[in-house]
């Protein structure tokens, strides 16, 4: 009565959403325990570094160390509602289907090997795609598409059902999708389905009760100062104290200052108020880098102090490219 299929979604401090789905080989208590371990490993690593390929590599190492001989298929995605991107990596899992506003459907797969079978092989390589025109993401395990032992036919049937909006307007769209797919047939394997609507995210250029947005050139000091002042006023209006405003303005100044130095051009600033604490996003066109929150070895260095200061003043600080 129990098995090893799972799905999960968790929101990070910065507003990104980590999604995962997977299938442990076998059934019974052993598969269920392995499933729980894999799900929690993915959650834990995502809190430290939300890179789908890195997450799957770490999960693979843990699985081979603790349960040699076991293997698991899995898919991990990181959805950024502000940058409108979807980063993902797969470990031999059936490809989730991403639907776009023009009706196009893309299968998300990078051909990775299942967890537990990667020893001596290259680490996972993830992909990042533009999700600005995406409307829906459907993740599933092979118990769905292999219902009649023909996985390719099952995927084609699933693609056809994605066009039926009545399914996804229901209160429980994943349940409705399964009912339409099975059409009375009985499942011979575990089935997990996760449906994510992503067209409801506010556009980065819009202003809503939970999203404020500014765009200016990095060298436009008046525009940058005005944005910083407005952010401080909004923070006060939402119950923040003067110390909070001071810290927020300092963080804002350091981030925009880095853009002036390293990424001249357009800067997009967004504040997301939908979580328990506001999240500040500063997007520029410069090259990305991996941030290490430590002071530079040379205490007189002109570089590295600002990012360390940001890490100290914030609950969480993340750099992506």
- E strands, the chain, in order: 5-11, 17-24, 72-80, 85-91, 97-100, 105-107, 127-130, 134-140, 193-197, 211-217, 266-272, 279-283
Q: What is the pLDDT of residue 187?
A: 76
Range 196-212 average pLDDT = 67
End-to-end CA distance of the chain: 44
- Decide if pLDDT at 313 tops 90: no
Question: For residue 60, how many C-alpha atoms fall within 13 Å in the half-sphere facing its CB?
Answer: 27
Q: What is the rounded CA–CA span in Å between residue 23 and residue 5?
A: 4
Q: Which tops the pLDDT comparison, 203 or 107?
A: 107
Nearest to 108 by CA among 133, 131, 84: 131
Range 30-51 average pLDDT = 91
Contact, 212 vs 204, CB < 8 A? no
pLDDT digits 0-9 by tens, 156-167: 889 999 988 899
Confidence of residue 200 (pLDDT cuts 50, 70, 90): low
Is the pTM for the entire model greater than 0.85? no
Tokens of 152: 């390719």
Q: What is the pLDDT of residue 182?
A: 87
């Amino acid at each position: 009565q129990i098995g090893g299929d799972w799905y999960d979604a968790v929101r990070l401090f910065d507003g990104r959403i980590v999604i995962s789905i997977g299938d442990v080989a076998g059934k019974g208590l052993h598969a269920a325990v392995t499933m729980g371990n894999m799900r929690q490993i993915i959650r834990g690593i995502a809190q430290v570094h939300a890179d789908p390929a890195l997450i799957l590599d770490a999960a693979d190492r843990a699985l081979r160390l603790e349960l040699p001989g076991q293997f698991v298929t899995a898919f991990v995605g990181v959805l950024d509602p502000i940058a409108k991107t979807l980063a993902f990596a797969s470990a031999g899992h059936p490809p989730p289907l991403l639907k776009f506003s023009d009706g196009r459907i893309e299968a998300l797969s990078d051909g990775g090997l299942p967890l537990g079978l990667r020893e001596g092989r290259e680490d996972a390589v993830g992909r990042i795609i533009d999700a600005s025109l995406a409307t829906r993401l459907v993740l599933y395990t092979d118990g769905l598409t292999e219902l009649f032992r023909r996985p390719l036919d099952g995927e084609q049937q699933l693609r056809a059902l994605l066009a039926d909006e009545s399914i996804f307007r229901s209160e429980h769209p994943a349940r409705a999708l399964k009912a339409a797919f099975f059409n009375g047939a009985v499942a011979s394997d575990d089935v997990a389905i996760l449906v994510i609507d992503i067209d409801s995210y506010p556009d980065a250029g819009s202003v809503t009760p939970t999203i404020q947005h500014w765009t200016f050139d990095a060298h436009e000091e008046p525009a940058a100062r005005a944005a910083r002042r407005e952010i401080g006023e909004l923070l006060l209006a939402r119950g923040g104290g003067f110390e909070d405003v001071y810290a927020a303005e300092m963080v804002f100044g350091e981030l925009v200052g880095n853009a002036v130095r390293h990424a001249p051009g357009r800067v997009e600033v967004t504040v997301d108020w939908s979580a328990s604490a506001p999240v500040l996003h500063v997007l520029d066109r410069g090259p990305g880098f991996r941030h290490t929150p430590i002071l530079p070895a040379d205490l007189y260095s002109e570089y590295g102090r600002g990012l360390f200061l940001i890490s100290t003043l914030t609950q969480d600080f993340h750099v992506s490219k």
